[in-house]
Structure 1
Amino acid sequence: MSNPHPALSFSEQDPLPYLRPEEQYHISPSTKYLLHISSWLGQNADDLATRKFLPKLKDHILARIFGKEYDGDEEAFTRDQRNALHFVNDRIYRHKSIRINYTSYDCHRAQDSLNPHTHVDIMVLVHEDECPNQDGLAPHPYWYACIIHWKHFSISLLKTF
């Protein structure tokens, strides 16, 4: 690994091809910048951000595989279900950016690229099922996030449930 920081530096090449309008997003298919998951988790064992990282990631992936829409909470899958999901070659691949298509506030189609160096802060609409807070007030209409890095991986599911 040439750069221990989660985000790839500007000097590292990671081309991002054209995104067709009907696609929601595109990330480079490159496998040049890789992390071995077990080694990375071992090196970062004292980091609170990696606590329960793998089970949470697997829960997130399994929920998407089974068509469960993300609503802010993840369904917890069983150990057997998680163990059926494998990362091919124990690898996650790092990327510089992602390109997205979206509908702008004035209902026009738009496209943007997001990366941890220039477009760090993002906001998305809150899930429509969001409940009022403890004071009975409506929730804030947006979730806010900070992009740390982009990754992709290849998986195999050993059995279906």
Structure 2
Amino acid sequence: MKRFQQYVLAGAIALIAGCGGAEVAELAATTTSGDTAYLASSEPADAMPVGEAREKAADGEELTLVGLIGGSSEPFVDGLAAFTIVDPKIPYCADDEGCPTPWDYCCTQDQVKDNIATVKVVDESGAPVSKTARDLLGVNELATVVVHGVAKRDDQGNLTVETSDVFVRSSK
């Protein structure tokens, strides 16, 4: 029931916010409480946007990345603390553009491919945390996060950042 209420709240705020209301949408995105063991108390310095990281980061490189949770209608991985983030420069969509879920970037999906990364929260041993990131970190779609971790690349050039520290930007 709590998850349903979070979806309804996030959806309602997103409908009101539209493309120009990122600050309102972010407020809705950070209304739940998370596990402080994986939440950074201060924002890491020198964060690069997702698109730049996709171009520059090498496999195994340490990096700091900033993005908005989204990129699909379901950006969170069930049962794991993993989610996708999109470069802040890519505008998300509004309901009046025919997009009831702004975080799926349906009106700008052609720009998402080169501006998306996966964030995987890992424990001290490097194993993925077995709790949904929404619950672990207290975040929802369109929250802006800054993560510091290690870049992992697959054969297609997709970028994943393994981290144990996630900073959630407030809307103010």
TM-score when scaled to structure 1? 0.29
- Give 1 or 2: higher helix fraction: 2
TM-score when scaled to structure 2? 0.28
Structure of larger gyration radius: 1
